[in-house]
Structure 1
Amino acid sequence: MSSTNSDSAPQARHPSPCIRRCCLDDTDVCVGCGRTLAEICEWNQASDPRRREICAAAELRRRPMRG
């Protein structure tokens, strides 16, 4: 008998914004993904809602870089 209960299904984690262009600028922000060094270090332990916050903040930081 298989269970279809969503409680037993693994939770999908928000994917990393890393694009493998890792290089920190003078303010410790990755020029590839826009995350701060602290956010990069926090990523693996971060909850899914926190990961979404990090990604939103990183996107805002990357916009001026694209200009």
Structure 2
Amino acid sequence: MTPARPPAPIKTPCIQVCVVDGESGLCLGCYRRLAEIAGWAKLGAAEREAIMAELPSRRSLIAPQKLAMF
């Protein structure tokens, strides 16, 4: 019998800057919405990859002066 392996870590865009912008509803660190952050572990790998592919374009939804704080 082979020993059980621990599950692979879940890929995440989190950079430990957890501040949600009230105007856009996006995290200033990773650009995810609160619902996406809360349900991240329950999403399938394909769903997480799709969201992560979208994140760079979300940056433009946040006022530049708010991003300058980080």
TM over 0.5: yes
CA contact (8 A) 2:10 2:41 kept: no
Shift of 1:60: 1.4
Corresponding position: 1:42 with 2:50: no
Q: What is residue 5 of structure 1 aligned with on the other side?
A: none
Q: What is residue 57 of structure 2 aligned with on the other side?
A: 60
Higher helix residue share: 1
* Superposed structure 1 runs of 4+ greater than 6 Å apart: none
CA contact (8 A) 1:35 1:57 kept: no
Task: Please show how residues 8-19 of structure 1 align to structure 2 within 5 Å.
Answer: 12=8, 15-19=11-15
Identify unmatched segments of 5+ residues in structure 2: 65-70
Identify unmatched segments of 5+ residues in structure 1: 3-8
CA RMSD after TM alignment: 2.6
Number of matched pairs: 60
Q: Distance in 2 between matches of 1:19 and 1:32?
A: 6
Q: What is residue 24 of structure 1 aligned with on the other side?
A: 20
Shift of 1:15: 1.2
Using the size of structure 2 for normalisation, the TM-score is 0.66
Shift of 1:13: 5.7
Q: Distance in 1 between matches of 2:63 and 2:6?
A: 36
